[in-house]
Every structure is written in structure tokens, then in C-alpha cells.
Amino acid sequence: SSELTQDPDVSVALGQTVRITCQGDTLRKFFATWYQQKPGQAPVLVIHGENKRPSGIPDRFSGSASGNTASLTITGAQATDEADYYCNSRDSSGYQVFGTGTKVTVL
Amino acid sequence: QVRLQQWGAGLLKPSETLSLTCAVYGGSFTGYYWTWIRQPPGKGLEWIGELNHIGGANYNPSLKSRLTISADTSKNQFSLRLNSVTAADTAIYYCARSSDFWSGCSDWGQGALVTVSS
């Protein structure tokens, strides 16, 4: 199955912009889905498809893609955005695969 | 608002069978994708498998030989069975719902820690 690679740790100053990337060959064909997970909680879907936000997700979260890389951007990061973020996609066989995860720290 | 509630045995010995059930409240069962995902303590997420909108199963190839995911539509429930568990299967197991193949899991169960230890 395909692999999705993320930077392990990213930090951002309060109110600034941070981009979290996810790399993998399958992203050349399929969009990424992004999840936010806070300690002790189930993941929360924040972006799916071509930059679609579920109801209740702030518009400071946005998604984009280029080549084999998908990105999740948080514009004006808040303290509440400190969490682990996982990308997810389908491979050519239809199986789901998760990225390795990025821990975002808001300074 | 749909709610997923999951349950099952939390402590298993090696070689035993892991069995979890997820009940769906407040929403339709048919027409959705029903997924199991796990997370070893302190590690990342791993997709286990899913039931699609017409009841077909799709499994992680690394688990396929030990795995069964099934549904009881009369009870609005779906289940996970994983045979011959080892310590490597110790994880928090989540059930989740997707509206279709592409949209990601918008609704999640509370998670259940399953520990495999002799």
C-alpha cells in the first residue's frame, strides 16, 4: 500500500499561519482528508475533498494540493489548534492510508 | 445528530479473538461507509477496514487474514473481529462513519482500549 509522509513536529506563533504537508504518490490521483486529534480524544475531520470543511470547522482551516503533496493550512492559529494532525487518502486499490502525523505546537 | 457507541472486551491474551461492536444512534445505517481505525498507545492512526454503502467489506491487506467486519442492520450495529491477537494489536480502536467513499469519517465512536497481554 502507499505511504503518506508528514513532518513530525511543527510550531507556529499564536495568530500566525502554519502549513502542514503530506507527501505520497497516491496524492497525485486522490485528494487528502485531514483530521485533528487532541490528547485523549477521537480524531475530528477538518478537511475533505477539494478543500471542503465540515459544519463547525472554522474557516481558518484550508486544504490544497500540488503534485504528490497535500497541505493543510491554518491561517491565524489559535491555542485551541494545538493538536496532532493526520492526513488520509485512498490508494489505487481503494484502501485507506493514514499519514505519519504532525504535532502542531502553538507558541 | 448521529452518535456511535462502541464496546467490547478490553483485555485479551495472545492468540485470543478481539471482538468489538459499534452501535449507531440517531441516524440511518444504510447508505453509509462504516469504518474501523486503531491507534497504538502514543502512535499514529491505522485504517483497519470498512463496510461500504452496499454492505461489501474492504480490509487492510496487513490484517485481512485475521479480520472480519460485519453488520447487523436490524440493530444498527457493525462489528469487528480480529483473530489470533498479539501484543502488536494493543491499541485504541475507533469506529467511524463516512457519507461516501471520498468524504472522510465525520462521526466517530468514543474509542475503546484493547490490551493484549499474557
Average pLDDT score over residue span B34-53: 96
Q: Terminus-to-terminus CA distance in chain A, angstroms?
A: 36
- Per the document, the length of chain A is 107
CA atoms within 13 A on the CB side of A38: 7
- Do B64 and B84 form a contact (C-beta atoms < 8 A)? no
More confident residue, A102 or B54: A102
**Residues in A touching B32 (Cβ below 8 Å):** none
DSSP letter for A50, please.
T
Tally C-beta pairs within 8 A across A and B.
60
Read off the pLDDT band of B55 (50, 70, 90): confident
The grid coordinates listed for B10 are 478490553
A98–B44: do the CB atoms touch at under 8 Å?
A: yes
- Do A63 and A47 form a contact (C-beta atoms < 8 A)? yes
According to the model, what pLDDT value does residue B27 have? 87
Task: Tell me the average pLDDT of chain A.
Answer: 96
The grid coordinates listed for A30 are 486522490
Which residue from B minimizes the CA distance to A103?
B44
The grid coordinates listed for B21 are 461492536
Q: Rounded to whole angstroms, how far apart are CA atoms A69 and A23?
A: 4
- Do A72 and A20 form a contact (C-beta atoms < 8 A)? yes
According to the model, what pLDDT value does residue A5 have? 98
- B32 has a chain A CB within 8 A of its CB: no
Average pLDDT score over residue span B42-67: 95
Kindly tell me if the per-residue pLDDT of B13 is higher than 90. Answer: yes
Q: Rounded to whole angstroms, how far apart are CA atoms B78 and B70?
A: 6
- Do B24 and B107 form a contact (C-beta atoms < 8 A)? no
Among A35, A92, A95, most B C-beta atoms within 10 A, so best to mutate, is A95
According to the model, what pLDDT value does residue A2 have? 75
Query: Residue B67 in 3-state DSSP?
Result: strand
According to the model, what pLDDT value does residue B77 have? 96
Cβ count within 10 A of residue A49: 14
Average pLDDT score over residue span A40-65: 97
For A32, residues 6+ apart whose C-beta sits below 8 A from its C-beta are: A4, A22, A47, A63, A65, A70, A72, A87, A88, A89
Read off the pLDDT band of B25 (50, 70, 90): very high
B104–A45: do the CB atoms touch at under 8 Å?
A: yes
Average pLDDT score over residue span B76-101: 97
- Do B4 and B23 form a contact (C-beta atoms < 8 A)? yes
Q: Rounded to whole angstroms, how far apart are CA atoms A25 and A32?
A: 12
Kindly tell me if the per-residue pLDDT of B17 is higher than 60. Answer: yes
Kindly tell me if the per-residue pLDDT of B78 is higher than 80. Answer: yes
Average pLDDT score over residue span A39-63: 97
Kindly tell me if the per-residue pLDDT of A1 is higher than 70. Answer: no
Nearest to B104 among A42, A48, A94 (CB): A48
The grid coordinates listed for B109 are 465512536
